[in-house]
Each structure stands twice: as structure tokens, then as C-alpha cells.
Amino acid sequence: MSFMLEHFNENEISQEYAISLVPKKFASRIKRLQVLKQAVQLGYIDEETSKSDRRRRIYKPSEQMISDFYEYADNAVTDI
């Protein structure tokens, strides 16, 4: 949810920022990084190289993830 909120607020989501969105008490840093990379491999999140710094990776939800999020939110509202 935090990832989607950052996307809708049009904030740039770097790798470090993305993994910081999950509190440390839920997973180690390496596990959060592994999950982020897995989400990229599965097509939920798109990874791009920063235009200002080629070493930096920028993440954003894929079109499918955005569509699924809207569907989820719509169902959550109509179920109330």
C-alpha cells in the first residue's frame, strides 16, 4: 500500500526508498531487497535506470499492478 501511495503522490521511488517502506521489524534489509527484485521479475514492478545517475534504479508499479490495485480498492469500497 505504501508503494502505491508513493506512486500516486508522484514521488520517485529509488531502491533504498522502496525497501525502507517496509518496516525493519517485518523483514531484514536483504529479504526486502529480494522481494523487490522478485516483484520486478514477476512483472508487478517496473525497474528503470535513473536519467540523472545511471547507477540508481527507479521503481514504479506496472500497468497490471495499477489495474489490480484499482480493482482491489473498488471491491473494498463496495463490500462495506
Asked whether residue 80 carries a pLDDT value surpassing 80, the answer given is no
Asked whether residue 52 carries a pLDDT value surpassing 90, the answer given is no
Task: Return the DSSP state at 13.
Answer: E
Q: Which H or E run contains 78?
A: helix 63-78
The CA distance from 22 to 3, in Å, is 9
Domain with 30 in it: 2-78
- The pTM of this model reads 0.81
Burial class (CB in 10 A: 0-12, 13-18, 19+), 61: buried
Domain total for the chain? Answer: 1
Query: What's the pLDDT band for 45 if we cut at 50, 70, 90?
Result: very high
The CA distance from 68 to 3, in Å, is 14
Query: What's the pLDDT band for 79 if we cut at 50, 70, 90?
Result: low
- Residues 9-34: tens digit of each pLDDT: 999 999 999 999 999 999 999 999 99
